[in-house]
Every structure is written in C-alpha cells, then in structure tokens.
Amino acid sequence: MSIPTLKTFRQFSEDHPAFSVPALYDVRFKSRPRSSSKGKIPANGFAPAFITRGRRVLVWEERFFEILMNQQAA
C-alpha cells in the first residue's frame, strides 16, 4: 500500500493554481448531501477526497483528481 499524498487547502492550491482555496472550501461544502428550503440538494461526489482529523481538513490529491476525471468521463 502506498502512502497517499495529503495536502492542506493552501498547499493544494499552490501546487494546482486552477483550484483556489475558496473553491476548495466550496467543493468540500458541496461534497455531502444537504437540505434547503426547496428540498434535498445532492452531493457532488468529492467526499472521499477529503480527510478530516480534528479541525484539520486535508485533500487526498490522487483521489481528488480520480473523482474529477471520473466525473469528466461520465
């Protein structure tokens, strides 16, 4: 088993400038289903790409791009 590449939002954004820190927060917020006054809002599918340890949230780099590419293929 290989060790996954885990990065903070800032590190991920610096390595991949197409994804700003606020954009990553938005992707994480929308990664789980949520409710609104108009009903249930589905998740975007990125939940497995985020690792939470206490208050720290890390991006699993390989899994993030794997999910992104799978969504592009669909």
The model's pLDDT over 11-21, given as tens digits with 9 standing for 90+, comes to 999 999 999 99
Domain that holds residue 35: 6-73
* pLDDT above 70: percentage of residues in the chain: 99
Count of domains forming the chain:
1
Query: Three-state SS string across the chain, please?
Result: CCCCCEECHHHHHHHCCCCCHHHHHHHHHCCCCEEECCEEECCCCCHHHEEEECCEEEEEHHHHHHHHHHHHHC
CA gap 30, 70 in Å, rounded: 17
CA gap 52, 63 in Å, rounded: 15
- Would you say residue 1 lies in a domain? no
- Would you say residue 11 lies in a domain? yes
pTM exceeds 0.75? yes
- Would you say residue 41 lies in a domain? yes
pLDDT in tens, 22-49: 999 999 999 999 999 999 999 999 999 9
